[in-house]
Amino acid sequence: MNTGADTITVDRLTRRFGDFVAVDDLSFGVHQGEIFGFLGANGAGKSTTIRMLCGLLLPTSGTATVGGVDVRRDPEGVKRRIGYMSQKFSLYEQLTVDENIRFFAGIYGLSRAKFEERHRFVIEMAGLEGRGRSLTRDLPGGVRQRLALGCAILHEPPIVFLDEPTGGVDPLSRRRFWRLIDTLSAQGVTVLVTTHYMDEAEHCHRIAIMHAGRLAALGTTSELKGLFRGRSIVEIDTGNPVMAMRVLQDAPAVEKTSVFGTAVHAVLRHGDDDLAELRQRLTAAGLTVGAIAPVEPSLEDVFLDVMDRRAS
Amino acid sequence: MRMRAAVRRTLVLMWKELLELKRDPRLLNIVILAPVLQLLMLGYAATTDVRNVPMVVADADRSVASRQLIDRFNDSPYFTVTHVVTTVDQVDPDLTKGTAWMALSIPAGYGNHLGTGVPQTVQVIADGSDSNSATIALGNATALLAGYTKQLVAARSPAAAAAGFDARIRIWFNPRLESRDFMVPGVLALLLVVVTAIMSSMAIVREREIGTLEQLNVTPIGRGELIVGKLVPYAVLGLVDVVLVIAVALLWFQVPLRGSLALLFVLTLVYLLTALGLGLFVSTVSDTQQQAMMTAMFFFLMPMIYLSGFVFPIANMPRVIQWLTYLIPLRYYLVIVRGIFLKGVGLEALWPQAAALAVWGTAILGLAVARSTKRVR
Ligand SMILES: Nc1ncnc2c1ncn2[C@@H]1O[C@H](COP(=O)(O)OP(=O)(O)OP(=O)(O)O)[C@@H](O)[C@H]1O
Ligand SMILES: [Mg+2]
């Protein structure tokens, strides 16, 4: 997995807080220009990992390099090569849009000419033309996130860490944000991003699923979906998904079930040969059943499956 | 080149800090209203002058001389004779009820014996439940009686007076006997440390709470740059307070300034640095603004106030505690501010205190820099 060309290498990275192991023996690599997604339940250790990679938190053991720089030995060197958007809001709310840009440009030591160019770039990417004098506090969430990203990459870093950049943002703004991530990646910038949204995760080149501080799965979307090889998923349309789940749990062919929108997804142990039996069971329990059709596993199915297997 | 980049970052941080402060709606209250109001309030409250003490007189003599003595008390700004009774046991109800704080008893035959050489004893009884006020009122009464006696003697026998009767009461440095002249500079010292230390204790921890500190920590900004960039804007606000508070002391309370205003200003600036350094240090070791506030208040400011000599005289403290007071910057500044205001002394007398403050300020700022890490261990 770790090729020599990786811009980020993580090797047995571990972080403890007292007795608690927040990140446990983590190893992976990220290629240059890749959009690398981090999935995991709350508290899985995603932010802790990112903070170690940004030189903000000292690893308890293990090593990592970012842009060829050891995070343990030279955190300041790492910081010069990265942009970082933390999970918390990272702009000054009492400052205007222009003032925020000017502040970060000043801290990063941009020259005057460079500043003009980057200022224009940020205003444009955030869609803030003519709003330079608005207080940041008064901007809508989606716009603020784009501005925060702009301020985090003012100095044009080759590697960017984004920790839940689209939390609490409407779908349209999320899509717009991801177009920015695509653009960065197309320019050769490596992006490591955490998210709780499956549609966003599908957008990543590769995805790492974390569970309780450990790496539970890693691969492209289709590689991860391959975890279901030999099993199949059927989607069952029913008026009462909760009841249907209870009935299906007793069927020997069913490994497990989960609610998927208004339907139920059932993971079957060996192929889709028992569909008639499932329908029988459900109708016998007095449920109205619509279509039962095999479906491609979604990333959400994969995620829940990985979580389940880790938990047991 | 490196240096220039560092200076630029520091300046940019100061600029940002001032902008944020300017837009903080609480700023006016914290920087201007609160200090002035507190100085006004404390200036009036923290006075040990005891005036218009209600007094009951047991006059068993009822002579011209006794009435003269009573008038003498009544005319003094320190006493008000509420009423006159005849025997000493009649003063009791007034003292217990609190309608009088003090009683004067004049024995029968006082008038007749005056000037005959027979020693006369008048008795002063004070309500000791507020021992502070009682002591002061008794002092005033003693002074008044001494003055009166001297006058009587002089009237009857000028020779004796010339021979050197002396009441042996002398007041130094504060001849107007205004305790306010003594207290207001102290309140000024107290106020400056409280306002500036609390203000600056919010400086870094606020950014930690919002999340912007983490953002700053991935930038090239250095630890010293962070501390200096935060210090200077708050020093500017502190200076506004210094001017304001000194102006109120001089113009409103009319505390006489016997020494140099320029020296007062310069040494106050040094004092300001210690207070700001203290606040910033607290800010670097706290996780939340509330925690910073509590730490500043209970671990630093309160002990400082109690041990500085502002509330209790240092000379009366146990030896160990006396040693402890050397750690307290307020102690040095009190000497400085009272010295310049009341005694009019200059740097030739105050340099040890000034040096102590400078060392203290440098040390605490160094500690703040050392404590503000860009990476969590
Ligand atoms: N400074 C700290 N001290 C103690 N425990 C911590 C600290 N920082 C994080 N943790 C713990 O480490 C675990 C992992 O936290 P982390 O923030 O990395 O999770 P996460 O995957 O980012 O979760 P979320 O999706 O909620 O952001 C959590 O249980 C958290 O409580
Ligand atoms: Mg997180």
For the stretch B86-99, pLDDT in tens is 888 888 888 777 78
Taking alpha carbons only, the member of B339, B308, B180 closest to residue B250 is B180
Asked whether the predicted pLDDT for residue B164 surpasses 50, the reply is no
Of the listed ranges A102-106, A155-159, B110-114, the least confidently predicted one is B110-114
The domain made up of B53-162 has a fold known as abc type-2 transporter like fold (3.40.1710)
CA dist B270 → A279, B30, B354 (Å): 85, 21, 8
Residue nearest to atom 27 of ligand 1 (CA): A42
CA dist B198 → A109, A204, B231, B300, B336 (Å): 32, 47, 13, 10, 22
C-alpha of B202 from chain center: 26
Taking alpha carbons only, the member of A26, A9, A87 closest to residue A60 is A26
Asked whether the predicted pLDDT for residue B167 surpasses 50, the reply is no
Asked whether the predicted pLDDT for residue A227 surpasses 90, the reply is no
Q: Is A115 on the interface with B (CB under 8 A)?
A: no
Ligand 1 neighbourhood includes A213 CB (under 6 angstroms) = no
Element (H, E) at B227: helix B223-247
CATH 3.40.50.300 domain extents, chain A: 6-219
Which of the listed ranges A3-17, A281-295, B112-126, B350-364 does the model predict with the highest average pLDDT?
Answer: B350-364
From the CA of A38, which ligand is nearest?
1
- Hunting for tokens 């970052």 — which residue is that? B9
Backbone Cα Rg of chain B: 28
CA gap A21, B246 in Å, rounded: 56
The CATH H-level (homologous superfamily) assignment of domain A6-219 is: P-loop containing nucleotide triphosphate hydrolases (3.40.50.300)
Question: What is the model's pLDDT at position A183?
Answer: 95
Q: Is A294 on the interface with B (CB under 8 A)?
A: no
Asked whether the predicted pLDDT for residue A93 surpasses 90, the reply is yes
CATH 3.40.1710.10 domain extents, chain B: 53-162
Q: State the pTM of this model.
A: 0.80
Query: What pLDDT, in 10s, does the model give residues B234-245?
Result: 998 888 888 988
Asked whether the predicted pLDDT for residue A3 surpasses 50, the reply is no
Q: Is A91 on the interface with B (CB under 8 A)?
A: yes
Band of pLDDT at residue A18, cut at 50, 70 and 90: very high
Partners of B123 in beta bridges: B105
Question: What is the model's pLDDT at position B173?
Answer: 42
Contacts of B12 in chain A (CB under 8 A): 102-103, 106-107
Question: What is the model's pLDDT at position B171?
Answer: 35
C-alpha of A191 from chain center: 11
Q: Are the CB atoms for B230 and B316 separated by under 8 Å?
A: no
Q: Residues of B112-127 as b/e, b for ≥16 C-beta within 10 angstroms?
A: eebeeeeebebebbbb
Ligand 1 neighbourhood includes A111 CB (under 6 angstroms) = no
Asked whether the predicted pLDDT for residue B170 surpasses 50, the reply is no
Locate the chain B residue with the closest alpha carbon to A79.
Answer: B218
CB pairs under 8 A between A and B: 82
Cβ of A107 within 8 Å of Cβ of B377? The answer is no
Partners of A36 in beta bridges: A192, A206
Locate the chain B residue with the closest alpha carbon to A61.
Answer: B377
Q: Which is higher by pLDDT, B63 or B158?
A: B63
Between B211, B212, B375, which is nearest A57 by CB?
B375
Question: What is the model's pLDDT at position B94?
Answer: 83
Taking alpha carbons only, the member of B218, B250, B239, B201 closest to residue B364 is B201
- Average pLDDT taken over every residue of chain B: 83
Question: What is the model's pLDDT at position B123?
Answer: 82
At how many degrees (to 10) do helices A141-152 and A171-186 cross? 20
At how many degrees (to 10) do helices A141-152 and A112-126 cross? 150
Cβ of B19 within 8 Å of Cβ of A104? The answer is no
What does the pLDDT average to over A150-172? 94
Asked whether the predicted pLDDT for residue B289 surpasses 80, the reply is yes
Question: What is the model's pLDDT at position A306?
Answer: 84
- Average pLDDT taken over every residue of chain A: 91
Band of pLDDT at residue B216, cut at 50, 70 and 90: very high
Closest CA of chain B from A104, distance in Å: 8
Exposed/middle/buried for residue B56 (C-beta within 10 Å: 0-12, 13-18, 19+): buried
The domain made up of A227-311 has a fold known as Alpha-Beta Plaits (3.30.70)
- Hunting for tokens 């008000």 — which residue is that? B80
Question: What is the model's pLDDT at position A76?
Answer: 94
What does the pLDDT average to over A24-50? 95
Q: Are the CB atoms for A92 and A184 separated by under 8 Å?
A: no
Instruction: Classify residue B83 as left (phi > 0), alpha (psi -120 to 50) or beta.
Output: beta
Q: Which is higher by pLDDT, B138 or B323?
A: B323
Ligand 1 neighbourhood includes A312 CB (under 6 angstroms) = no
CA gap B131, B50 in Å, rounded: 12
Of the listed ranges A1-15, A218-232, B149-163, the least confidently predicted one is B149-163
Q: Which ipTM score applies to this complex?
A: 0.86
Q: Which atom of ligand 1 is nearest to the CA of A210?
A: 21
